[in-house]
Amino acid sequence: MATTRILIVDDHPLVRGGLRTLLERDGEFTVVGEGADGYEAIELAAQHLPDVILLDVAMPRLNGTEAAQRIREKLPSVSIIMVSMHADEGYVLRALKSGVSGYLLKASPEAEVLSAVRAVARGQAYFSPEITKMLSEAYVGEMKRRGVEDSYDLLTFREKEILQLLVSGRNNREVAKLLNVSVPTVETHRNHIFQKLHIHGMPELVLYAVRKGLVA
């Protein structure tokens, strides 16, 4: 049985060692390499072609978000989990814009780390519960401040269905196949979703889904 290939990049050797021990002990994962900064992340990703990269946000020479963006440009199929001590919206949004599939806090329990890696390996998104809670509270507060109803209710059932599939990592073609509709139909629904939610791209849509608690 093939195992999920993991690359770990963090400038702290103890963190890398702890993650390696945790993942390899589980039996589902093989750690194919370790790096200490963003440039090493890019080099090792091209060398080992991992399925999932655990990538620290704050590293010397080149930070995690910049490295993630460059890796995704060269290897669009790789899934990246940003690992960070920071739990504020700015960090999460920058991570999403760089193309990551997950955002995990360094204080997360071991079981959560394993769940996150399994989720993104399946093409899904994963965010630490603390991140989802923080963003959800911020979203509700903003809705109350503006005195408007929940924009999610403006979506049709089909639009909600397509939103869920898109933020779980499926592209337009995969969504079309799953729902037995044409790709142009999916694109039309996607455009309607963006218009109704006043969203301008997939990073914003994923952030919206995290705020709403629609992703793990």
The CATH 1.10.10.10 portion of the chain extends over 149-212
- 67-107 pLDDT, tens digit each: 999 999 899 889 999 998 877 777 788 888 888 888 998 88
Name the amino acid, one letter, at 67.
Answer: A
Q: Lowest mean pLDDT: which of 51-55, 138-142, 206-210, 212-216?
A: 138-142
| Distance separating alpha carbons of residues 97 and 73, to the nearest angstrom | 12
| pLDDT, position 130 | 80
- Provide the CATH topology of domain 4-129: Rossmann fold (3.40.50)
Q: Check: CATH 1.10.10.10 for 149-212?
A: yes
CA distances from 38 to 33, 49, 59, 65 (A): 14, 16, 7, 9
DSSP 3-state assignment of 61?
Answer: coil
Model's pTM, two decimal places?
0.74
- 126-170 pLDDT, tens digit each: 888 887 777 766 666 666 666 655 678 788 899 999 998 988 878
| Distance separating alpha carbons of residues 72 and 116, to the nearest angstrom | 19
